């Protein structure tokens, strides 16, 4: 299914008057509105292939319907999102779930929807059919060099697929760790991981990046070998200029000050980018902004500040991706909500009066500093984000249009009831 531009135009006409009123109201107090709109238009958030199906929990999975059953259909789904919001212009693939049979054809298909290939993801947290060694006790960290070799070879394979598709980064997330004290020698596990990553790093093309993702716990419950940003940064620093630390919002211990982590990683030039999601407890993978929208804003506040200080292009300097997938909502509607929440937080961060904030900080004027941040956060920027969509030829109300068009019903008619998408 494809959403034609004429349908979007017709939808926008119906909402135009109301939108204009809201936009005029909010923008009349913003000096640099055109600059903000341009930044919002350029800002693209990649969609992971594994978020297109209904996720599950370890207790069960309630399959959705009309979900994509092939790489082609996953690309089609992201194409639908991008047609609706013009903000989801890339897809992130997970190997071996998304092995392209013919890279040229897959690339051409993606291009026809205006999509690029974001970071490639390897998978050494599951055993695959026919594989010689098991990852039960880890992969890149494993005590047996044969297992490490197999996991390294897989990552090199993933880089090759990525090169064929025009991707520019490899994300490594490991389930490696231990569940019981005494199970693992921490130093040896870390050193084995470093040596394995060095071999993978050596296979990166010159213009590629290696994103080292960390996660506090789960699936291992006593230690994780890359558990936090310190351990990831240690690895990234030892590996070299092409290695960076990737922040997944759900991968921290409760109440971690993620905005501070982000600020320091940016300062060190070692922030890879983001996996956006939200959570109440741990790696819940809920819709971005669903639980802690203020935290999302504070993160973007640090991002905008840090990127501007370092002269990093907001749209292309870092990797922006959603990593959320759960049991309840239609995955496509859910992804539209995540993208919207991310853009709202970004737009609010662009509104922060940075000169005034600097002044307040210099004067230890804590009350004023809070007022400045909350002035931006409490501004209803939805019409600004909608205007940026309008200027890009997207829908004023992507979720409204998605529902009005009954997209899911059409996908079920095309693909059938059974769901085969791979999710985590």
Binding mask of the shown chain, residues 320 to 359, with x at each position contacting Mn ion by CB under 5 A = ---x------------------------------------
Contact between 228 and Mn ion by CB under 5 A: the answer reads no
Contact between 19 and ligand PSV by CB under 6 A: the answer reads no
Binding mask of the shown chain, residues 353 to 372, with x at each position contacting ligand PSV by CB under 6 A = --------------------
Among Mn ion, ligand PSV, none, residue 121 binds (CB under 5-8 Å by kind): ligand PSV
Which of these, 392, 291, 283, 331, lies nearest to 47 by C-alpha position? 331
Return the residues of window 101-160 that contact ligand PSV according to CB under 6 A: 121
Among ligand PSV, Mn ion, none, residue 76 binds (CB under 5-8 Å by kind): none
Q: Which is nearer to ligand PSV, 38 or 218 (CB)?
A: 218
Return the residues of window 317-346 that contact ligand PSV according to CB under 6 A: 323
Q: Which is nearer to ligand PSV, 161 or 275 (CB)?
A: 275
Neighbours of 312 (CB within 10 A): 16
Specify burial of residue 369 (Cβ count, 10 A radius: 0-12, 13-18, 19+).
middle
Q: Smallest distance from the beta carbon of 278 to Mn ion, in angstroms?
A: 12
Binding mask of the shown chain, residues 262 to 301, with x at each position contacting Mn ion by CB under 5 A = -------------x-------x------------------
- State how far the Cα of 135 lies from the Cα of 297, in Å rounded to an integer: 38
- State how far the Cα of 161 lies from the Cα of 120, in Å rounded to an integer: 8
Q: Phi and psi dihedrals of 34, rounded to 5? A: -65, -40
Out of 107, 148, 215, 343, name the contact with ligand PSV by CB under 6 A. Answer: 215
Contact between 248 and Mn ion by CB under 5 A: the answer reads yes
Q: Smallest distance from the beta carbon of 138 to ligand PSV, in angstroms?
A: 15
Out of 43, 135, 173, 208, name the contact with ligand PSV by CB under 6 A. Answer: 173
Structure tokens belonging to residue 192: 């084995």
Q: Which is nearer to ligand PSV, 182 or 254 (CB)?
A: 254
- State how far the Cα of 210 lies from the Cα of 244, in Å rounded to an integer: 6
Contact between 216 and ligand PSV by CB under 6 A: the answer reads no
Q: Which is nearer to ligand PSV, 12 or 220 (CB)?
A: 220
Which of the stretches 5-13, 82-90, 245-253, 266-274 binds Mn ion when contact is defined by CB under 5 A?
Answer: 245-253
Out of 33, 163, 164, 424, name the contact with ligand PSV by CB under 6 A. Answer: 424
Angle between helices 71-85 and 103-112 (to 10 degrees): 20
Run of H or E residues at 80: helix 71-85
Contact between 98 and ligand PSV by CB under 6 A: the answer reads no
3-state secondary structure of 380: coil
What residues contact 240, with CB distance under 8 A and at least 6 apart?
201
Cis amide linkage into residue 96, ω under 30° from 0: yes
3-state secondary structure of 274: strand
CA dist 32 → 36, 93, 288, 313, 388 (Å): 6, 37, 27, 17, 14
Q: Which is nearer to ligand PSV, 215 or 389 (CB)?
A: 215
CA dist 64 → 96, 119, 205, 267 (Å): 22, 26, 38, 42
Question: In the sheet where 90-92 sits, what is the strand order?
Answer: 47-48, 90-92, 116-117
- State how far the Cα of 164 lies from the Cα of 154, in Å rounded to an integer: 16
> Where would I find the beta strands (DSSP E) of 52-129?
90-92, 116-117, 120-121
Contact between 244 and ligand PSV by CB under 6 A: the answer reads no
Contact between 248 and ligand PSV by CB under 6 A: the answer reads yes
Contact between 300 and ligand PSV by CB under 6 A: the answer reads no
Q: Which is nearer to ligand PSV, 219 or 393 (CB)?
A: 219
- State how far the Cα of 164 lies from the Cα of 90, in Å rounded to an integer: 15
Out of 76, 77, 118, 213, name the contact with ligand PSV by CB under 6 A. Answer: 213
Out of 118, 278, 283, 340, name the contact with ligand PSV by CB under 6 A. Answer: 283
Which residues would be at the binding site for ligand PSV (CB under 6 A)? 121, 173, 213, 215, 248, 275, 283, 323, 424
């Amino acid at each position: 299914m494809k959403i034609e531009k004429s349908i979007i135009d017709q939808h926008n006409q119906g909402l135009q008057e109301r939108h204009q009123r809201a936009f005029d109201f909010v923008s009349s107090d913003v000096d640099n509105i055109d600059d903000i709109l341009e930044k919002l238009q350029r800002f693209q958030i990649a969609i992971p292939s594994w978020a297109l199906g209904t996720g599950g929990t370890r207790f069960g999975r309630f399959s959705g319907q009309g979900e994509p059953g092939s790489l082609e259909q996953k690309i089609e789904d992201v194409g639908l999102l991008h047609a609706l919001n013009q903000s989801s212009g890339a897809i992130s693939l997970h190997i071996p779930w998304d092995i392209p049979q013919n890279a040229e054809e897959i690339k051409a298909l993606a291009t026809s929807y205006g999509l690029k290939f974001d970071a490639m993801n390897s998978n050494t947290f599951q055993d695959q059919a026919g594989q010689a060694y098991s990852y039960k006790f880890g992969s890149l960290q494993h005590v047996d060099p044969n297992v490490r070799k197999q996991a390294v070879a897989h990552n090199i394979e993933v880089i090759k697929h990525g090169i064929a598709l025009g991707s520019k980064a490899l994300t490594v997330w490991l389930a490696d760790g231990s569940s019981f004290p005494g199970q693992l020698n921490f130093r040896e596990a870390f050193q084995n991981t470093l040596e394995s990553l060095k071999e993978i790093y050596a296979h990166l093309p010159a213009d590629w990046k290696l994103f080292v993702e960390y996660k506090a716990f789960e699936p291992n419950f006593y230690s994780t070998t890359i558990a936090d940003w310190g351990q990831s940064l240690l690895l990234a620093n030892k590996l070299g200029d092409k290695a960076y630390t990737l922040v997944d919002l759900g991968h921290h211990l409760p109440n971690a000050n993620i905005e501070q982590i982000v600020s320091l990683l940016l300062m060190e030039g070692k922030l890879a980018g983001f996996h956006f999601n939200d959570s109440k407890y741990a790696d819940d993978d809920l819709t971005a902004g669903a639980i802690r929208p203020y935290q999302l804003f504070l993160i973007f506040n640090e991002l905008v500040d840090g990127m501007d200080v370092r002269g990093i292009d907001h749209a292309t300097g870092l990797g922006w991706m959603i990593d959320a997938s759960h049991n309840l909502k239609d995955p496509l509607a859910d992804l539209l909500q995540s993208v919207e929440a991310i853009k709202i937080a970004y737009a609010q961060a662009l509104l922060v009066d940075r000169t005034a904030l600097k002044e307040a900080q210099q004067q230890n004027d804590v009350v004023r500093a809070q007022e400045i941040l909350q002035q931006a956060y409490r501004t209803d920027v939805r019409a600004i984000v909608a205007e940026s969509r309008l200027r890009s030829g997207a829908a004023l109300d992507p979720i409204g249009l998605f529902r009005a068009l009954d997209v899911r019903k059409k996908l079920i008619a095309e693909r059938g009831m059974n769901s085969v998408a791979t999710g985590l």
